[in-house]
Amino acid sequence: MNKIAVPPIKCQGIKTKLVPWIKAIIPDDFTGKWIEPFAGSGVVAYNIRPKKALLCDTNPHLIKFYNSIKDGRITSDLVRSFLEAEGAKLRKEGQDYYYEVRERFNTDKEPLDFLFLNRSCFNGMIRFNKKGGFNVPFCRKPRRFEKAYVTKIVNQVAHVQTLLQYHDFEFRCQDFELTVTNASGEDMIYCDPPYIGRHVDYYNGWDETHEIRLSEVLDKSGSRFILSTWHSNDYRENKYLKTIWRKFNILTREHFYHIGGFEKNRNPMLEALVTNFKAVYMEEPEKTAEQLTLFEKRQN
């Protein structure tokens, strides 16, 4: 099976380990545009590598960062020189410099500062206060940007940079409803909204009203869709799978999340994929690899 490409922006709940599952259920006859109303880190689209994609999010900093790579304002070489210089200042001044960059970012909104904060903040969180200010504390690692770590991030940027040179990707900062309602019947919509009923940090918040509205616009869109959500854990179940999502096809598999400041909060959870088309995931590695190979041949 192909190695999963990790994007340069870290997000809590990132779908890196679920990409093969998502990828394997995409219908063979999909030839339209890949659309994501909740792009986040972009990990799913960057690994599926469709010919055309529309990645949207209400977080303007995510969209600005990836548009900067697309436009050539951010390159892997620029990222290396920036992180080496900023990392040296962080090693010398410690957390004081982190908070200096955080204040600078909240004033100037520069995408390279966003990358710096994302890779040196506590637990890779992306969180903003009510005024839109990034407010995640320092990770307490002044030597965060050592040579190997910088090279790792540079390679992640280089992968996205290369992908955007050869594939038609568009990035927009807009509401999920606008994104979904403008999709066509040939498109495939992949939704990774904040997990309703769980502790989440999302740029604009997420509650039952949003979840219901999302199910309604997806149902009316005329496009095929895949939606990621949680099914259950050791303590409770996602009640919405038995209400607003019950009319659709639901697949499940176990996944372990390394989320939370304390180990006791990091527990296995049964993941769910909700689709409006018949989808079957074969667990056998041979069959999964074959499915992925066929999809890659159609897209490339």
Confidence of residue 95 (pLDDT cuts 50, 70, 90): very high
* Percent of the chain as helix, strand, coil, to the nearest 5: 45, 15, 40
246 is in which domain, residue-wise? 16-58+174-299
Q: Are residues 264 and 203 in the same domain?
A: yes
Mean pLDDT of 72-76: 98
Both tokens assigned to 292: 């992925």
Among residues 98, 125, 157, the one where a domain terminates is 157
Among residues 122, 157, 192, the one where a domain terminates is 157
Per-residue burial over 36-67, b = 16 or more CB atoms within 10 Å of its CB, e = otherwise: bbbbbbbbbbbbbbbeebbbbbbbebbbbbbb
How much of the chain exceeds pLDDT 90, in percent? 78
The mean predicted confidence, pLDDT, of the chain is 89
User: Does any domain span residue 258?
Assistant: yes
What per-residue confidence (pLDDT) applies to 208? 93
User: Does any domain span residue 229?
Assistant: yes
Q: Are residues 131 and 209 in the same domain?
A: no
Q: Are residues 152 and 187 in the same domain?
A: no
Q: 112-121, 164-173, 245-254: which range is least confident on average? A: 245-254
Contact of 134 with 116, CB cutoff 8 Å: no
Q: Is the pLDDT of residue 293 over 50?
A: no
Measured in whole angstroms, the distance separating CA 114 from the mean position of its chain's CA atoms is: 15
Q: Are residues 87 and 212 in the same domain?
A: no
User: Does any domain span residue 143?
Assistant: yes
**Strand (E) or helix (H) holding 20:** helix 19-24
- CATH of residue 280's domain is 3.40.50.150
Q: Are residues 234 and 132 in the same domain?
A: no
**C-alpha distances out from residue 117 to 47, 56, 204, 222, Å:** 24, 21, 20, 39
User: Does any domain span residue 192?
Assistant: yes
Q: Is the pLDDT of residue 201 over 90?
A: no
Give the global pTM: 0.88
- CATH of residue 103's domain is 1.10.1020.10
Q: Is the pLDDT of residue 225 over 60?
A: yes
User: Does any domain span residue 69?
Assistant: no
Q: Are residues 197 and 287 in the same domain?
A: yes
Q: Are residues 135 and 263 in the same domain?
A: no
For the chain, the domain total comes to: 2
Q: Are residues 185 and 220 in the same domain?
A: yes
Per-residue burial over 186-223, b = 16 or more CB atoms within 10 Å of its CB, e = otherwise: ebbbbbbbbbbbbeeebbeebeeebbeebbebbeebeb
What per-residue confidence (pLDDT) applies to 269? 77
Q: Are residues 178 and 290 in the same domain?
A: yes
User: Does any domain span residue 153?
Assistant: yes
User: Does any domain span residue 191?
Assistant: yes
Q: Are residues 129 and 259 in the same domain?
A: no
Among residues 157, 190, 209, the one where a domain terminates is 157
Confidence of residue 197 (pLDDT cuts 50, 70, 90): confident
Q: Are residues 132 and 106 in the same domain?
A: yes
Give the bridge partners for 121, in sequence order: 138
Q: Are residues 21 and 94 in the same domain?
A: no
Contact of 120 with 90, CB cutoff 8 Å: yes
Mean pLDDT of 237-263: 80
User: Does any domain span residue 244?
Assistant: yes
